[in-house]
Structure 1
Amino acid sequence: MNFTPYSMLLDFSIMSGLLFVAQIMRSKIKFLQNYYIPSSLVAGFLGLFGGPQFLNILPFSGKTGSYPYLLVCVLFAGIFLGKQEKFNFKETVNKVGDTFLINMSSEILCFGLACLVGGGLVILLFPNVFSEIAVLLPAGFMGGHGYAAAIGGTINTLLDRTDGVIIGQTFATLGLLSGIFGGIICINYATRKGATRLVKSIGSLPEECKTGMIPLEKRQTMGDETIHPMAMDPLAWHIGLILMTTGIGYAIYYAYKPYFPRVEVPLMCVTMIVGVIIQSILNRTGYGTYVDKRIIDRTGSGVTDYLVAFGIATIKLSVVLEFIGPILVLVTVGIAWPCVLVFFVGRRLFRNFWFERSIFIFGYITGVVAVGVTLLRIVDPEMKSGTLSDFGTAYTLQSVVELFIVTLVPVFAVSMGVIPIGAILVAIGIAMLLFCKFKYGSYKMPMDELREGEAEIIATILD
């Protein structure tokens, strides 16, 4: 059957229906609620089991496997659109330097340990498997289905493969499940040991967090109308801006490729750079204020839901079974590091609310930031620990470094080898942790002992 524009329309229509069904399931099924399973994850599994590999009752086209990487290019195009605030490096370092160092090193070590330890084990135990598969573990675990599609696409291009995105999506799915279930286990253990400061047991989040359905009195606006509807619909203005940025990035990528065939700058990074340039132009010309960051972010979140759903629905089980040995070995490495981070690194380096801050990192380096936020809200329902605000400030700088990691690590892994690049990243990550210890101090005390500033914050909750 030929692929036509109607084929793509039908694919997205089917997935939209699955997302609808998944959300209704989330609102009714207690298991999905109690473990905060995202509706996009449920929709993806529905698509997988209803697709050609199982029941074969959903008429997806043969091109659905290409959607995750295309969607991540759209997602990256909007990352910097709508940003108008100026970044103050000195202020950020003084305010949240320890948070930045621990968060950033956790990501760098996520890649480094996967390449050094995971890559070494793959080379030793599975000599016939391409060693660069190790890079796909942190791509999926740390960045979710978005980074998995991005780095998987780069690996496909550099190695002339077709399975990089599929394996990356597999790691992303396993990472999400590990983050959710593993995080709940860590929280249960920490509450029994008295390590949680703001709750004594796993409490109940608001009902809307479980069902996903927000009651009328708690609803908030998604954004402001910055364009008058008589001239142009505000939503069309923002979506058009994102798609325009994506299109320009696509044109630039395929314009330079014939002249520099050996230079590989991932398409998603090109679209992101174009987004930075366009927003800079808008800010300088006075049009930046007409781009509402909330609408851009909500659009990106919507793209992410489709990205996750298509990513899971298009996982080829034959590929997963072919690489099941390396996948299981790498997943073990991927889960071990976040556990060490929570109960060893975070416990000794965070100045206060060490578990709350650590479990947030656990969530986002096994899945996505949304998983980290979900776990954080379980142990810090009123967001009193300062974890999220500190992360938001630190991430302004962290996001820049992160994008260099996503762009360059797969390229160097192919050109240098996974072991050398892994050793370099591990050295950088450890150096950052040592610097954090030297500059901000370390703590050797029982898990349940209060640290500076915690008693005052706890008292405000009791009052």
Structure 2
Amino acid sequence: MARSIDKATTQLMLIGGIYIVLLLGLEGLTWLLNTLVPGKLSANMLKLFWGFHFGFGALIGTLVGKFVRKMEDKGWVKGNKGTNNYLLQHIGGTAIDFMIAASIAAINVRVLGPYIVPILIVTTIGGVVTIGYIWFFVKRVWPKTFVEHFVTLFGTHTGTLATGMALLRGVDPQFRTSAASDAIYGSGIGLLMGVPLIAMASLPATGYELGNPNYYWITLLLIIGYLAVILFIWFNPWTFKFLTRHTRGSEEKEATASQK
């Protein structure tokens, strides 16, 4: 009976269930915003929330994974019937390969051509700045797994979480370091902290559509206030001390395990 359902089928069922929960959650959010928020503002906010659905999916997947592992630990679910990291890695790898191929195929050279010069300028400057500050922070937080965390964060900052995971596969195919799990957990936490920014980003578009410049000033004040809060948390000595202690502790465990 234990072999009646293939392990790969179980993993696909879990992934499908997560997407169903994600879809229902976004549909519920759509109904809620359409009910509580004025028309154009809610429409612009929903575009952004649906555009960041991958982040919500990563958060739900993390919670589901923890829930399943908790049931496995208590013996409510047999180990071979729950999550299987080996199969999940291969399913994720296939999805990432498909995403890369689809992304390249979706590039329209005719549309890209007239804007190639400004695109190169913006991406070059942005790329150099991104490399600089990622290098600075990763060197301080993850000194022993610098390369893995660097490529993951660079891909995530210049694309999406899936882009970062695709780059990580090039240097850590088996996801032996904490870079993959850090990216997943970080995206969930970052998404929660980014929800206010998603809501703020819809204000300028709404102001433009309504012809009301007051929305621009409201957005600017909200961003300045939110930035002040984030910088206080970021550069608080206690926060950084806790972060480095936690991450370096996990790196020590990884180094010990690899030596064994």
TM norm structure 1: 0.33
For the Cα contact (< 8 Å) 1:119–1:134, is it kept in 2? Answer: yes
Counterpart residue number, 2:82: 59
- Give the Cα separation in 2 of the matches to 1:40 and 1:110: 26
Counterpart residue number, 1:240: none
Go from structure 1 to structure 2 and tell me whether the alpha carbon gap of 1:92 and 1:82 turns closer, same or farther (over 3 Å shift). closer
Amino acid at match of 2:186: L
For the Cα contact (< 8 Å) 1:15–1:47, is it kept in 2? Answer: no
Matched, 1:7 2:24: no
SS at structure 1 position matched to 2:160: helix
Amino acid at match of 1:70: T
Counterpart residue number, 1:325: 247
Of residues 172, 179, 183, the one that matches 1:171 is 183
Go from structure 1 to structure 2 and tell me whether the alpha carbon gap of 1:73 and 1:323 turns closer, same or farther (over 3 Å shift). farther
Of residues 125, 128, 133, the one that matches 1:105 is 125
Query: Tell me, which stretches of 5 or more residues in structure 1 are unaligned?
Result: 203-320, 328-463
For the Cα contact (< 8 Å) 2:161–2:187, is it kept in 1? Answer: no
- Give the Cα separation in 2 of the matches to 1:11 and 1:145: 21
For the Cα contact (< 8 Å) 2:62–2:185, is it kept in 1? Answer: no
Of residues 120, 133, 137, the one that matches 1:118 is 137
Matched, 1:71 2:91: no
For the Cα contact (< 8 Å) 1:139–1:151, is it kept in 2? Answer: yes
Query: What's the offset of the Cα at 1:12?
Result: 0.9
More helix by share: 2
Matched, 1:145 2:168: no
Report 1:48-447 matches (<5 A).
48-52=65-69, 54-56=70-72, 57=77, 59-63=82-86, 64-81=88-105, 85-86=109-110, 89=113, 91-93=114-116, 97=118, 100-115=120-135, 117-122=136-141, 129-135=144-150, 136-156=152-172, 162-164=175-177, 167-175=179-187, 177-178=189-190, 181-182=193-194, 184-185=196-197, 197=213, 199=215, 324-325=246-247
SS at structure 2 position matched to 1:132: helix
- Give the Cα separation in 1 of the matches to 2:198 and 2:6: 47
Counterpart residue number, 2:237: none
- Give the Cα separation in 2 of the matches to 1:134 and 1:45: 19
Query: Tell me, which stretches of 5 or more residues in structure 2 are unaligned?
Result: 34-44, 220-242, 250-260
- Give the Cα separation in 1 of the matches to 2:153 and 2:176: 14
Deviations for 1:123-142, whole angstroms, at most 9, x for unmatched residues?
A: xxx66x23324413223343
Query: What's the offset of the Cα at 1:20?
Result: 0.9
Counterpart residue number, 1:408: none
Query: What's the offset of the Cα at 1:163?
Result: 2.4
For the Cα contact (< 8 Å) 1:119–1:131, is it kept in 2? Answer: yes
Alignment size in residue pairs: 192
Larger Rg, first or second structure (1 or 2):
1
Percent identity, aligned pairs only, is 7
Higher relative contact order, structure no. (Cα contacts within 8 Å, ≥ 6 residues apart): 1
- Give the Cα separation in 2 of the matches to 1:4 and 1:141: 43
SS at structure 2 position matched to 1:76: helix
- Give the Cα separation in 2 of the matches to 1:65 and 1:100: 34
SS at structure 1 position matched to 2:159: helix
